[in-house]
Amino acid sequence: MSVFDVHLHVQPHSEFNAESLAFINSGRRDLDLYAEIEGSPEALLRFMDAEEIEAACLINYVAPDTLGLSENVNAWSARYCASHRDRLIAVGSVHPRFSKDGFGDAHRLFDLGIRMIKLHPPHQVFSPNDYLRGNEALAGIYRAAEERRVPVMIHTGTSIFPSARNRFADPMPIDDVAVDFPKLPILLAHCGRPLYGDTAFFLARRHPNVFLELSGIPPQKILEHLPRLEELAHKTLWGTDWPSPGIRSPSRNVTAFSALPLSEDSKRKILFENARALFRG
């Protein structure tokens, strides 16, 4: 089956602060490979071919006070993907606490070539519904993305980064976002793992504009975390979170997922068709 991985971390490592970079690199044996990929989109495409990945979203977001990631990651992501838009989706971010003009900043990212916004509540230290408490920048980000039909991926579930604030890990505040921005495509990254699988499933089942995204869950555990996944196979996207800890090979994750007792139609939708439809434009 064709594979569309909506959650690959291809980022400029020079942007991370020392603590975060040490955490990322700890125990890694593929640093030379990653350095080659970071420096060359063609190297990434060769890796994707070897791993049988047809297309991928390259996750980047702004988190200067926790991870060190500045707004430079947006231009880097857009530039990296510019010559291969048929296979690479540039992902960037507007920081909802630091932006003075979320609506305008988001539109500028879209004009730059960013095709999905990533928001990370535990790393950006905010709640997804903070616009209800006066965060106009966050409301502007959502309005701009809804206006342009650009998906917003929101991290849900805990983070093990040393600087993460996991009180923002619960996806339930996204219920407000889905109600207030009904035409905004929302991806629940990691499906709330490990604590909030039921909440993520409820949100995707309730709201037509909310989708599940499977990255960061060991494939053999997916049906333990989401036992009714087959019901929402038409609203679930595949992702691996490579090269995060425990993910040695994206293709191995696909192989393990393919062994699950799901219909072949459901597997095709999750692995490729749903993402292709979402990013068709």
pLDDT at 268: 98
Query: What is the amino acid identity at position 42?
Result: E
Q: How many CB atoms lie within 10 A of CB 158?
A: 18
Domain ranges of the chain: 4-278
- Burial of 31-65, coded b for 16+ CB within 10 Å and e otherwise, reads eeebeebbeebeebbebbeebebbbbbbbbbbbbe
Q: Which helix (H) or strand (E) holds 31?
A: helix 31-39
CATH class of 4-278: alpha beta
Angle between helix axes 136-148 and 102-112 (nearest 10 degrees) is 40
Say how far apart CA 171 and CA 214 lie, in whole Å: 14
What confidence tier does 245 reach under pLDDT thresholds 50, 70, 90? confident
Task: Express each pLDDT in 164-175 by its tens digit.
Answer: 999 999 999 999
Identify the band that residue 280 occupies on the pLDDT scale cut at 50, 70 and 90. Answer: confident
| 0.85 exceeded by pTM | yes
Distance CA 217, CA 44 (A): 23
Q: Read off the pLDDT of each residue in 154-168 and give the average, rounded to a whole number.
A: 97
What is the predicted pLDDT for the residue at 87? 98
210 Cβ contact list (under 8 Å, min separation 6): 174, 178, 186, 188, 203, 204, 235
pLDDT band with cut points at 50, 70 and 90 for residue 110: very high
Average of per-residue pLDDT values in the chain: 97
Average pLDDT over residues 55-84: 98
Quick one: CA torsion of 46, 47, 49, 52, rounded to 10 degrees? 180
